[in-house]
């Protein structure tokens, strides 16, 4: 996950994260990392349209954003 966060920071490319809030709700966010600290990241959040701080221990997953067609396509099993 750290490689993906660093890549988003250096390339200013969006990633998607699954984040657990203080109230134990999960949320999916599309973000661009702006700053990495020891225990958190500051990122532009496309949902809120502003800079937000996300705790690293609450980021459950991070991955490149899926394209629209990838979301619609069924998983092919070989």
State the CB neighbour count (10 A cutoff) for residue 3.
8
CA distance 12 to 27: 22
Residue 73 has pLDDT above 70, yes or no: no
| For residue 72, pLDDT beyond 60 | no
Categorize the per-residue pLDDT at 65 as very low, low, confident or very high, splitting at 50, 70 and 90.
confident
Give this prediction's pTM.
Answer: 0.79
Domains delineated in the chain: 2-72 (2.30.30.100)
Tell me the C-alpha distance between 14 and 10, whole Å.
11
| Distance, CA of 39 to CA of 46 (rounded, Å) | 22
pLDDT digits (tens, 9 = 90+) for 7-54: 999 999 999 999 998 899 999 999 999 999 999 999 999 999 999 999
């Amino acid at each position: 996950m750290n490689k993906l966060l660093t890549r988003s920071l250096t390339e200013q490319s969006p990633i998607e994260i699954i984040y657990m809030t203080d109230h134990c709700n999960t949320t999916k966010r599309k973000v661009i990392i702006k700053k990495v600290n020891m225990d958190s990241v500051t990122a532009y959040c496309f949902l809120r349209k502003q800079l937000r701080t996300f705790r690293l221990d609450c980021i459950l997953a991070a991955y490149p954003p899926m394209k629209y067609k990838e979301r619609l396509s069924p998983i092919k099993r070989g």
